[in-house]
Amino acid sequence: QRRTGQLPVQKEGEEVDYRGVLHRDGSVLMSVTLDHLKAPELLYKSLAAKLIVGMPFKDLATVDSILVRELPPQDDKNARLVLKRLIDISMGVITPLSEQLTKPLPNALVLV
């Protein structure tokens, strides 16, 4: 039997839109490594994101959320910018609690 439940809703005053991290008809998740973050345009294409002037945009076929088992160091601005851009297009960035405690990424989802 098919499971039912409620998807995230956008609440007034929230700076991040979490509605896109899950899809009502089934969610697509993909694992992303630190190496993937070194080639942003290639990563965006592998996530099936549309690219407009090098910036990712979500489409019907785009991955809903990514699992990042290891976050980039705080001083790796380029890799963190890639993750921020994915969060900005309402893609879920899921990280282990241990990573979030040691190298926090704003607005990422925590895997417990």
**What is d(CA 21, CA 66) in angstroms, rounded to the nearest whole number?**
9
Whole-model pTM? 0.85
Instruction: Judge whether 99 lies within some domain.
Output: yes
Instruction: Judge whether 17 lies within some domain.
Output: no
For the chain, how many structural domains are there in total? 1
Nearest to 90 by CA among 66, 51, 64, 71: 64
Sort strands 55-57 and 50-52 into parallel, antiparallel or unpaired: antiparallel
88-101 per-position pLDDT tens digit: 998 999 999 999 99
47-72 per-position pLDDT tens digit: 999 999 989 999 888 999 999 999 99
- State the pLDDT confidence band at 87, using cuts at 50, 70 and 90: very high
Instruction: Judge whether 8 lies within some domain.
Output: no
Instruction: Judge whether 81 lies within some domain.
Output: yes
Q: What is the pLDDT of residue 11?
A: 78
Instruction: Judge whether 101 lies within some domain.
Output: yes
Range of the structural domain that residue 56 is part of: 26-111
8-37 per-position pLDDT tens digit: 777 788 777 777 777 777 788 999 999 999
